[in-house]
Structure 1
């Protein structure tokens, strides 16, 4: 199946802010793709899910998401540590991770790229811009970019 054909796609959204999560989910659900959107509200549950330790009726340990959207400022385990764990794992490191953060700190940007983030996007404050940025970023990583199986 080619990258552009419609297929079941799992997108993991790791975001503790319900307003930002709602906007991101609204944008992601507007695609004409068969996707499963998994919203995880803290870094600890994100790691448990990604490493197959969190029960989910549709999640199997070997299922890999097609895209991870990651906030940095998370409760329990911060986004930097989540990114570090993802990119140091042999099975998960090829999954594109887009950091979507309100942070404009140069050290956060540098650290994320050093750890292997595929993209770093500062969340727009404006509603329409947030929706558009989320849509554009996700469409690129889901339909244009090619990843190994």
Structure 2
């Protein structure tokens, strides 16, 4: 059964934020998106214990606190470490991929360049997690 998701999107590129929001809006779901522009902003959002994202969609290349630094910080937080974190990035660097999985991500998606492919892959990502048994 599909459930509405509370999604924390951690992305510094305004165009990428707009694209992600467009995908979610086109799904006609009741998903809610919280936006953070870098890892530091995301950690500040998560300090509020009333903010409970079902998933985190995370870019790697950001200013202040990048995606890998954010991952390390969140995995140290006992109450937040189990939030499924999915990397959505342009990086195809194998060492980035391996490091992210070693830290404990739930998935790694390379942003497709073509708009229709981006829409498809992002829709599938959201559909998967809105039907996942881990999300209550």
Compute the TM-score of the two structures, normalised by the length of structure 1. 0.84
User: Pairwise mapping of residues 1-149 of structure 1 onto structure 2 (< 5 A)?
Assistant: 4=1, 6-7=3-4, 9-52=5-48, 61-143=49-131, 145-147=132-134
Runs of 4+ in structure 1 deviating by more than 4 angstroms, as ranges, are none
RMSD: 1.5
Number of residues of Structure 1 aligned to a counterpart in Structure 2: 136
Instruction: Please give the per-residue CA displacement for 1:44-96, whole angstroms capped at 9, x wherever unaligned.
Output: 111100122xxxxxxxx233101110000011101001111122211111111
CA distance in 2, matches of 1:6, 1:83: 25
User: Greater helix percent: which structure?
Assistant: 2
Match of 1:125, SS state, is coil
Runs of 5+ unmatched residues, structure 1: 53-60
Long gaps (5+) in structure 2: none
Deviates more, 1:34-43 or 1:91-100: 34-43
State the TM-score, normalizing by the size of structure 2: 0.92
